[in-house]
Structure formats: structure tokens, C-alpha cells
Amino acid sequence: MNIAQYIDHTLLKPTATSNDINQLCEEARNYRFAAVCVPPPCVSGAKKYLTGSDVKVATVIGFPFGYSVPAAKLAEAEQATADGADELDVVINLVALRAADTAYLTAEIEPIVALAHQNGRLVKVIIESGILTDAEIVVCCNLYTAANVDFVKTSTGYAEKGASVAAVQLMRQHLPSSIQIKASGGIRTFEFAQELVAAGATRLGCSASVAIVTGAKAAGNSGY
């Protein structure tokens, strides 16, 4: 398995420096990762560094807690798009989800999806599956299918539980084939990454990306 092609090489620490982002981009170029995922202020720098490569630049919107008002999230998405982000990883408002306010969640995501698709960008919605019930995960799958997002993503990495095989399997059962799944949060080994892909994930958000692909190579798998 060429695990590198699934990986969004991620650095979202608030203390990340430009040198850290440059190193992330260099690793992504060398290992041929699908994308880098960087903080919003770092998008333009990452885009410039990766000029000429196939590596995409992703960033986060409403990160990490998702309770920014919709207008603020849309403004973030507009700025990220202007800065050159190829993919927008948007955190949903869990307060609204827990209140069963699906109308709010729909109104929040639809303008972002419209903006992204008009500009040839992708939208990944982060639902924080590790702290949701199965029923809430299914609600999210149905809601974001209707909103025509490109990916549903498991986790921010900031909650007490990240990606799980069970959550990815449940999401795959309740999403159409046109909507992909990104698993993230706590993925540190090639073996776990492989399990998540087998369960239905087509992207993996990882900060331990290099260890994952080099571990795969050491084990005799085609990691990159």
C-alpha cells in the first residue's frame, strides 16, 4: 500500500514557525504526501514553497472548537481561498449539533461549500466523531451529504478521542460514494493507518506522517 498518497501532512500548533512550515512542505514534497495542512496564516507561504509540486495545501476553518459564528467561518474561508488554499477543513458547531439544530448547521456550511466549489476548492467537514454518539454521526452524514461537501472528517485532534475504525466504518455506511472520508487524530503507526484505509478512509490527517511511511518501508510495505 502506498500510504503516502493518503496523508495530509499536518502541523497545526499555534507556535509553528515559518521554518517549521517549510520543513513540513519539504517532507511532503519528498514523500509525495497528498497535502499539507497548515494554520491559516501559513497558507500563502506553504503555497509558495510547494510551487511546482503536486502537493495540495489545506487549512482549517473555525479550528479547533467550531463555535465561531457562521459569518466568521465564511470570512476565514474567503481569506484562505484568496491565500491559495486548495482544501478547507471546517469544524462544525457542536453546540448546534447537540441542540439538534440542523438548520443552523446547514446554513453554516452551505455558503462555504458554494465559495469553495466556485473556486475549485474542496471542503472537508470535521465532525469530532470520537465524542459523538453513533446517532449523531449518522445525522452528520445525512446533513453533509445534502450540503454536497467533499469529505467528512473524523476529528480535530483536540478532543479526548480521535479517529477510530468503527467511526470510519459507520461513516462509510451512511455516506454516498461521492463523499470521501478523512480520518485524523491519533494516527501514529502504519498499521493503524492501514486499518483506517481498509475501513473506508481516503485521506489521513497525520503529524507523524514521516514515521508512518518510514515504518511501512522498514516493514517491507510500499509506504511511498
How many other C-beta atoms are found inside a 10 Å radius of the C-beta of residue 98? 10
The count of C-alpha atoms lying within 13 angstroms of the C-alpha of 154, restricted to the half-sphere facing its C-beta, is: 33
CA 195 remoteness from chain centre = 18
**89 noted as active-site residue:** yes
How many other C-beta atoms are found inside a 10 Å radius of the C-beta of residue 214? 14
**8 noted as active-site residue:** no
From the list 47, 89, 124, 150, the catalytic residue is 89
Q: Are strands 203-206 and 180-184 parallel, antiparallel or unpaired?
A: parallel
CA distance 178 to 148: 9
Residue 160 corresponds to which cell in the numbers above?
479526548
Please choose, from the candidates 28, 31, 40, 38, the residue with its C-alpha nearest in 3D space to the C-alpha of residue 68.
Answer: 40
CA distance 77 to 75: 5
CA distance 14 to 223: 29
Amino acid at 59: T
**182 noted as active-site residue:** yes
Residues forming the active site: 89, 153, 182
